[in-house]
Amino acid sequence: MNKIIKRNKALFYALLVLTCCFTAGRVSAQTTDEKKVAEAVETLRAAMVKADTVTLKNIIDPDLSYGHSSGKIQTKAEFVSSIATGASVFVTLDFTEQTIKIIGNTAIVRHILTAKTNDGGKPGAVHLSILLIWQKEHSQWKLIARQAVKV
C-alpha cells in the first residue's frame, strides 16, 4: 500500500512540474509580444509629446486610420502633419488602464488617455478612451488604426 501511495505521489509531482513548464512557456511567449506592443505604445506616446515626427513615421503604417473623438479621421500624413505644425500639441500625455490582446499578428490595445494640450496655442485638457490596432510587420509593431471616444 505504501509503495502505491509513494508511486502516485511521484507521478502527481511529475505531472505538476510538467504542467508548470508548459504553462510557463506559453505565458512567456504571450508576455514577450505584449511587452513589445507596450513598448511600441510608449514610443508612440513619447513621440507625440516630443513632436518627434521621424519616430512617428517609423512606427505608423502608411495606411493609418486615425480617428478622433470628434469624428474626424486622419491619414498618416495628416496625423504627422498635425503634430509637426503644432495643430496638435501634447503638453502632458498619460495612458492608464491599458490592456493588450494579441491575436496572431494583430494587437488590440485599449487605454484611457489623459492629456493637457495646447492645440494651435489654445490650452485645453482631454480625457478619452482609446482603441489602438497594431500589426506586426516582420519583428516591428506598426500602428494601423486608432479610435478615440469621450469617457
Query: How many folded domains does the chain comprise?
Result: 1
In this structure, is residue 11 part of a structural domain? no
In this structure, is residue 12 part of a structural domain? no
Q: Which residues pair with 102 in a beta bridge?
A: 107
* pLDDT computed for residue 29 by the predictor: 45
The string of DSSP codes covering 10-73 is HHHHHHHHHHHHHHHHHHHHHHHHHHHHHHHHHHHHHHHHHT-HHHHHHHEEEEEEEE-TTS-E
In this structure, is residue 107 part of a structural domain? yes
In this structure, is residue 24 part of a structural domain? no
In this structure, is residue 5 part of a structural domain? no
pLDDT tens for 51-100 read 999 999 999 999 999 999 999 999 999 999 999 999 999 999 999 999 99
Give the separation between CA 5 and CA 35, rounded to whole angstroms: 44
CATH code, domain with 45: 3.10.450.50
Percentage of the chain modeled with pLDDT above 70: 80
- Which domain does 98 fall in, by range? 39-150
Beta carbons of 144 and 135 less than 8 angstroms apart: yes
